[in-house]
Structures are given as structure tokens and as C-alpha cells.
A and B are shown apart, each in its own frame.
Chain A
């Protein structure tokens, strides 16, 4: 279901819970699917004893993937033209994440309606873990 420009206004938001009590197993699942087997994400012994972190932590790309789920649920699959993020804080096992998109602009480019969105994903302490932006094709 695609968004309609006529039904959108600047400042509209869409928010979803994209992870609840994130498990180490889901991080392992992401390692297997993506092919990124960095032990920082899956190997508690290495990460605490060698790398010096309190525990393993999620791939930034898992957090971006979780954020993308909110985004495609909002704008519809296959509708994005741009999607970019900065990873501002690490995501740890046990974290609960909420992803939010806010409409920044609705515009027309060569007859195609587009929506520009501001993105923010926060953890259970309200700390921002991902900040970013996206653009999607929308219906008139």
C-alpha cells in the first residue's frame, strides 16, 4: 500500500517497535544472512576479553535493517529512492528499539511525487542509535 501525497503533510510521523529485547541469537542470525562474521557481534569471549567491550553488540547494518522494516511498512516495498543513516550509538543484546519516520517535504520531480523523510531509531533509554533520511516515490 503506497502513500498518497494528497493524504500526507509535513510533520506526519510513523513509528514502529522494530526490536524487543534483542537477542544474541537474532544477531547471530543476521551474521549468517549477511555474511559479516565479525566476532564483535557473535563471540562474547573475544569481545569482552580481547576487544574490551562489555558484551557483543549488533551489527550497525542489523539496526539499519530493523529501521528499514519500519520504512518499507510505511512507504511500501520497492518505493525507496534513497536511504542513508549514521550509526550514533551501539545496540546491545536486550535493547528494545523504536524507529520513527517524520515527513520533511512532499515534492514533485519530473512528474513523480516524492516524500523526504527524517529517520530516528532510539533504544529503551531514549538514546538515538540511528539517525538518517530517506526519499520514496509516492502516489498523487
Chain B
């Protein structure tokens, strides 16, 4: 998979922290962050997920001139109903090796991991897929390793 350049920006961190309802000044107040132990604005622990913004081919973002599977005039913008309701997130794991600060420019490289299947009562056949992403800073140092497991279900998850 291609490497993605991920500039870690203070305004993006502020918006991300707002979205999770986290008002800690280390995420939006440069002065307060500088005075604190972390020495400057840092991203919240799950911020690396926002690398999606910098992936030009990210499939869960509508793109100009392409049909989008969400609703428009009809309940889906595709000509045919999609076969699957798509993937769900099953697990997410992070290892934090070195600090990351606003202003760092990271490079993310994703490698496919294991795949496996399992039967479930609530959603039929489950197909799991693991991906490991390594984030390196502008000095080439490994700062964060992320491992995600996504699952595609045979049918929507039963809520009973």
C-alpha cells in the first residue's frame, strides 16, 4: 500500500478533540500546552485514525464525479443496492512509542495482516481482516503502531 503523508496540524487536533468532547487544553491551547508536561499541543490517543483525511483514495469519502452509496434522491446513489452493508470495526489497538506534537509530519504505511472467518448467531458469517499501520515522524522514527480488525457481516447485526 502507498505511504501516506500525514501533517499533524493544531486546528485538526482541535476539531478532533471537540468531536470526542474532550476539552483538555493540551488539545487546543498552545500556551497552556507549552506550560504542561507534554510541552506543546499533542493529539488525543485515537487521532491517528484521522489519517483517512490524507488518503487520496479513501473509500468512505464522497469524491467529485463518482457515485456515492449514501442517499441522495433515492436511499442510495448507486444503481444497484450494495451487496453488503459494509465493514464494521471490531478491534483497534495502538502502541505509542514516541511523543507526537502538532507540527510533526508523519508517514503512514499500512500492511495487511491476518484474515479469518467465524459464524455468529447475530450476523451470520463474519469475515475478519487485520491491518497494521506504522506511523513515522519527519526524523524517520517509529512513533505509533496501529492494528485494526474490521469485520464484514453476512447480514446486519441483530439487536435482539
Contacts and interface: CB of A to CB of B under 8 A. Distances in A.
A104 B54 CA distance: 37
Given A52-B85, A64-B92, A80-B45, A33 B15 contact: yes
Interface size class of A (residues with CB under 8 A): 35 or more
> Which of B36, B42, B45 is the most central at the interface, judged by chain A CB atoms within 10 Å of its CB?
B45
A46 B159 contact: no
B71 A43 contact: yes
Given A73-B24, A90-B157, A39 B71 contact: yes
A64 B46 contact: yes
Given A35-B50, A45-B71, A2 B37 contact: yes
B7 to A, nearest CB: 13
Interface in B123-160: 147, 155-157, 159
Given A29-B18, A71-B45, A52 B155 contact: yes
Contacts of A49: 71, 75
Contacts of B38: 77-78
Nearest to A39: B70
B75 A87 contact: no
A69 B91 contact: no
A84 B46 CA distance: 10
Interface stretch (B58-66, B104-112, B113-121): B58-66
B44 A35 contact: no
A106 B60 CA distance: 41
Interface stretch (A6-14, A54-62, A108-116): A54-62
A96 to B, nearest CB: 13
Interface in A52-93: 52-54, 59-62, 64-66, 68-69, 71-73, 76-78, 80-87, 90
A95 B96 CA distance: 30
9 smallest CB-CB distances across A and B, nearest first, come from: A39-B70, A84-B93, A60-B89, A65-B20, A35-B52, A35-B53, A49-B75, A45-B71, A51-B85
Interface of B: 12, 15-16, 18-22, 24, 26-27, 36-38, 42, 44-46, 49-50, 52-53, 58, 60-62, 69-71, 75-76, 81-82, 85-86, 88-96, 99, 147, 155-157, 159
